[in-house]
Amino acid sequence: MQVLWRDPIELGLNGGDVRMVKGPSDALACLADHWPYRGPYYVAARSACRAAIDGRRTCEEARKLFLSAAEEARLKAH
């Protein structure tokens, strides 16, 4: 069963692409395939998303860190 966030995140990627991120699994795919900057929040978000999928962290903790990683990478997220 896939873990989902209460509120999906609409993420504006470089080049004008928009991606709807519905939960930690979507976030991990996005972080792996589309991320322009891999700083400390990127690493924390990736770890938190994996932990949320495994049940070791809450889904909302992963969401908050994913949003922080988006801000760090200067991507538009809402």
Residue 45: exposed, middle, or buried by beta-carbon count in 10 A (0-12, 13-18, 19+)? buried
Strands, E assignment, the chain = 9-12, 18-21, 76-77
Positive or negative: CA dihedral 69, 40, 23, 60: negative
Residue 5 is given by DSSP the state -
Residue with more model confidence, 4 or 2 = 4
> DSSP states of 38-51 as a string?
--HHHHHHHHHHHH
- pLDDT at 30 (0 to 100): 95
| Per-domain boundaries in the chain | 9-77
- pLDDT at 58 (0 to 100): 95
pLDDT averaged over every residue in the chain: 94
> Would you say residue 56 has pLDDT above 70?
yes
User: What's the pTM value of the predicted model, to 2 decimals?
Assistant: 0.94
In the structure, what pLDDT confidence band is assigned to residue 2 with cuts at 50, 70 and 90?
A: confident
- pLDDT at 1 (0 to 100): 64
